[in-house]
């Protein structure tokens, strides 16, 4: 057993429903090459977050398979799996703790790595502008930050674990266009360093993606680059 290496994902004939009689995803087939930037779009309820939940092993599909680096995802130990993936959820949860603690989350991560992750997430300068920098309490649920800023902290948190696959479920609630652009730039800069699987509610966020797939009622409807869709 080992950590993920390439972060190459293969989804084959994946079918899943929260109630087995009502499939939410139908026969999904997808190949996500190592280090590629993959975007997923689709209407609300089309199954985007569900697909991500299956990739993260939160649920198990009724049929079909998911492999990473050619190994079934079930074969990774919890420890290795968790250490190999980073997740930026749709509604990031911030602790009533300092900016630093919100990035380390109790993991043994050096100050240099915290700063490197914050810079990659384009949130380093924002943190430095707070009165106590990385020691500034972010408040219960991160009350003093906007949703978009919380997502940037969550990106830094995910990157601080040096994942092979970065999962991002873009916030549905309002994000100011400046922050949205920062997310877009951060993802674009990370491509080729880590496999990126990003659900986007705004096509602009993933305009630099190598491939974008459209989910429609739980089926893969289209795929292509930004300008082709
Ligand atoms: P959004 O853009 O609103 O985030 P989505 O594409 O992420 O939507 P999902 O959250 O994957 O959509 O939901 C797909 C379908 O599965 C919907 O019909 C939803 O109601 C249903 N669903 C989602 N989560 C659950 C759950 N935990 N239990 C039962 N049904 C669920
Ligand atoms: Mg969703």
Domains of the chain: 9-228 (3.40.50.300)
Distance, C-alpha 75 to centroid of its chain: 21
Mean pLDDT of 139-150: 78
Residue 98: partners with Cβ closer than 8 Å, 6 or more residues away: 132, 134, 135, 136, 137, 138
User: From CA 191, how far away is CA 98, in angstroms rounded?
Assistant: 29
The per-residue pLDDT for range 115-134, each reduced to its tens digit, is 999 999 999 999 999 999 99
Q: What is the predicted pLDDT for the residue at 141?
A: 62
Which ipTM value was assigned to this complex?
Answer: 0.98
Mean pLDDT of 195-224: 92
Is 80 exceeded by the pLDDT of residue 172?
no
> 80 vs 140, which has greater pLDDT?
80
Which residues have CB less than 5 Å away from ligand 2 (the ion)? Answer: 49
The lowest-confidence range among 9-18, 72-81, 141-150, 167-176 is 141-150
Determine the distance separating the centroid of ligand 2 and the alpha carbon of 18, expressed in angstroms: 14
Determine the distance separating the centroid of ligand 2 and the alpha carbon of 58, expressed in angstroms: 14
Per DSSP, 202 falls in state: S
pLDDT band at residue 68, thresholds of 50, 70 and 90?
very high
H or E segment and range at residue 28: strand 25-32
User: From CA 12, how far away is CA 28, in angstroms rounded?
Assistant: 6
Q: What is the predicted pLDDT for the residue at 222?
A: 83
Is 80 exceeded by the pLDDT of residue 144?
no
Sign of CA dihedral 209, 196, 199, 14: positive
Mean pLDDT of 88-96: 90
**Which percentage of the chain shows pLDDT scores above 90?**
79
> 173 vs 111, which has greater pLDDT?
111
169 vs 10, 125, 131, 172, CA distance in Å? 19, 23, 30, 9
Is 70 exceeded by the pLDDT of residue 157?
yes
**Which percentage of the chain shows pLDDT scores above 70?**
99
Residue 32: partners with Cβ closer than 8 Å, 6 or more residues away: 8, 9, 10, 11, 38, 195, 197, 211
Residue nearest to atom 3 of ligand 1 (CA): 44
Q: What is the predicted pLDDT for the residue at 227?
A: 77
Residue nearest to atom 17 of ligand 1 (CA): 45
């Amino acid at each position: 057993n080992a950590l993920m290496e390439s972060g190459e994902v293969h989804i084959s004939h994946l079918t899943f429903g929260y109630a087995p009689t009502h499939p939410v995803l139908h026969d999904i087939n997808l190949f996500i090459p190592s280090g590629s930037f993959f975007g997923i779009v689709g209407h609300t309820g089309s199954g985007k977050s569900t697909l991500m939940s299956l990739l993260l092993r939160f649920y198990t599909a009724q049929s079909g398979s998911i492999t990473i680096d050619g190994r079934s995802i079930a074969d990774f130990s919890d420890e290795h799996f968790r250490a190999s993936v980073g997740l930026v959820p749709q509604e990031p949860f911030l602790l009533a703790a300092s900016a630093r603690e919100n990035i380390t989350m109790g993991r043994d991560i050096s100050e240099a790595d915290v700063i490197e992750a914050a810079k990659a997430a384009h949130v380093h300068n924002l943190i430095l502008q707070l009165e106590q920098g990385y020691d500034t309490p972010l408040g219960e649920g991160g009350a003093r930050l906007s949703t978009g800023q919380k997502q940037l902290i969550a990106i830094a948190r995910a990157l601080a674990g040096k994942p092979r696959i970065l999962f991002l479920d873009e916030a549905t609630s309002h994000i100011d266009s400046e922050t949205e652009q920062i997310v877009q730039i951060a993802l674009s800069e990370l491509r080729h360093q880590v496999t990126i699987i990003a659900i986007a509610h705004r096509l602009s966020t993933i305009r630099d993606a190598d491939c974008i797939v459209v989910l429609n009622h739980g089926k893969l409807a289209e795929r292509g680059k930004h300008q082709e869709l």
